[in-house]
């Protein structure tokens, strides 16, 4: 677990015995993980004040929510390291594996599972699982964990950036088809308009800003990231406010929530194992296998939540639709943190032209 702790507070804990620095480490941990810890808090807040963030409420989410989505993608385009696409383009087997798992294997698995058990799920939860299966990978955590585990950082950065660029187009296309396939008919004209206006144009605008102000954006990347996180929390809050006010959660027993947590945990572990098998079948080296392990199985909450807002709008069940993603996100941090620790502990093999000392 030292890698997981190291990625958040900078150094591993010295033990469970209280020490003068223990409270400081806890404070640093809370500060650096404030976003993940805030996700359940805003959901709980929505239970007590649903009128604030529901449609027509004081925060006017029908307007401010769309503005938040557009601003998130402006910031994402502004800070997206597209130079990594040029630097890391050569490892085609690694890239093919990660993008195929993300946008082909995951969705096909989702279709198979939906065909098997989808009809037994509440409609909004069923839609939430389909949405989870077609999301792109994370950017920051996949790169951080790859680096800590001693993997191919440039390859991870390349695939994280490419995945998020493709996801703006591929995820809505998959969802449009899957919603029709699963019988969840929704007019696609408005969805396509919102995708273009709220996702694609802001992303392009952010990239244009990067042409002139890349240095400034890189220097203030942490502050811009916090801004995006706050906007995401606002969208989650308004989504849950609508769900609470419409009584959506009353029709979803707690057993469904527990079952969803078990399902996403099983999915995550299974996909990590599948990626490892595919990496070995493709004869990827150790560094590329590590990058694949931390890019292909992960799903982004940073782009996923605004994508959901653009796709589903003021849908009263948006909170339930987001449930699988909101459970998958912290689980992938914990599981992949442990996995990074295991990779880091294994001795690195000597290069072919280097002999071990006698």
Segment 23-55, tens digit of pLDDT? 877 787 778 778 888 888 988 898 898 889 888
How far is 87 from 65, CA to CA, in rounded Å?
A: 36
130 or 28, greater pLDDT:
130
Percentage above 70 pLDDT, the chain: 87
Q: What DSSP line would sit under 275-336, residue for residue?
A: HHHHHHHTT--HHHHHHHHHHSS---STTHHHHHHHHHTT-TTHHHHHHHHHHHHHHHHHHH
Confidence band for 351, pLDDT divided at 50, 70 and 90 = low
Report residue 21 as tokens: 């620095």
Share of the chain above pLDDT 90, in %: 35
Take residue 351 and report the two structure tokens written for it.
């290069």
What's the predicted TM-score (pTM) here?
A: 0.80
Region 300-313: what's the mean pLDDT?
Answer: 87
Contact between 244 and 47 under an 8 Å Cβ cutoff? The reply is yes
pLDDT of 14 over the 50 cut: no
CB-count burial class (<10 Å; 0-12, 13-18, 19+) for 214: middle
| Token pair of 269 as six digits | 């572990």
Distance CA 197, CA 129 (A): 25
Distance from C-alpha of 303 to C-alpha of 307, rounded to nearest angstrom: 6
**What does the alpha-carbon distance between residue 291 and residue 299 come to, in Å, rounded to a whole number?**
15
Judged against a pLDDT cut of 50, whether residue 355 lies above it is answered with no
Query: How far is residue 243's CA from residue 315's CA, in Å, rounded to a whole number?
Result: 8
Instruction: Find out if CATH 3.40.50.2000 is the number for domain 52-344.
Output: no
What residues have CB less than 8 Å from 16, skipping those under 6 apart?
none
> What's the Cα-to-Cα distance from 128 to each of 46, 134, 307, 341, rounded to whole Å?
19, 10, 12, 31
Cα separation, 246 vs 180, in Å, equals: 24
**3-class DSSP state of 233:** helix
Q: Which of 22-26, 66-70, 115-119, 229-233 has the lowest mean pLDDT?
A: 22-26
The four Cα atoms 186, 329, 171, 250 give a dihedral, to 10 degrees, of: 0
The tokens describing 29, both together, are 């941990």
Question: Helices (H) and strands (E) in the chain — how many of each?
Answer: 18, 0
Whether the pLDDT of residue 261 is over 90: the answer is yes
Give the SS3 label for residue 187: coil
Task: Provide CB contacts within 8 A for 28, sequence distance 6+.
Answer: 8, 9, 10
């Amino acid at each position: 677990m030292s890698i997981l702790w190291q990625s958040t507070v900078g150094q591993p804990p010295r033990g469970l015995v209280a020490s003068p620095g223990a409270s400081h480490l806890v404070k640093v941990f809370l500060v650096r993980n404030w976003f993940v810890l805030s996700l359940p808090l805003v959901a709980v807040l929505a239970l007590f004040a649903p009128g604030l963030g529901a449609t027509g409420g004081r925060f006017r989410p029908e307007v401010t929510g769309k503005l938040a989505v557009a601003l998130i993608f402006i910031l994402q385009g502004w800070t997206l390291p597209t130079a990594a696409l040029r630097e890391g383009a050569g490892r085609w087997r690694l890239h093919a594996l990660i993008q195929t798992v993300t946008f082909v294997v995951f969705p096909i698995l989702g279709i198979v599972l939906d065909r098997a058990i989808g009809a037994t799920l509440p409609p909004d939860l069923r839609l939430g699982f389909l949405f989870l299966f077609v999301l792109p990978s994370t950017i920051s955590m996949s790169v951080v964990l790859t680096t800590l585990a001693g993997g191919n950082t440039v390859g991870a950065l390349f695939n994280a950036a490419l995945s998020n660029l493709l996801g703006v187009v591929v995820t809505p296309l998959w969802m449009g088809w899957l919603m029709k396939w699963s019988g969840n008919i929704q007019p696609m004209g408005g969805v396509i308009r919102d995708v273009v206006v709220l996702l694609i144009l802001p992303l392009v605008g952010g990239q244009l800003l990067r042409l002139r102000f890349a240095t400034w954006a890189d220097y203030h990347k942490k502050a811009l990231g916090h801004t995006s996180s706050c906007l995401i929390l606002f969208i989650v809050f308004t989504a849950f406010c609508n769900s609470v006010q419409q009584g959506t959660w009353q029709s979803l027993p707690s057993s469904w929530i527990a079952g969803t947590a078990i399902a996403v945990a099983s999915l995550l572990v299974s996909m990590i194992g599948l990626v490892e098998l595919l990496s070995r079948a493709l004869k990827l080296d150790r560094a590329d296998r590590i990058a694949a392990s931390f890019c292909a199985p992960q799903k982004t909450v940073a782009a996923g939540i605004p994508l959901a807002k653009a796709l589903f709008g003021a849908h009263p069940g948006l909170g339930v639709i987001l449930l699988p993603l909101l459970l998958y996100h912290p689980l992938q941090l914990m599981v992949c943190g442990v996995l990074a620790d295991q990779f880091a502990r294994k001795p690195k093999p000597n290069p072919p032209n280097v002999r071990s000392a006698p």
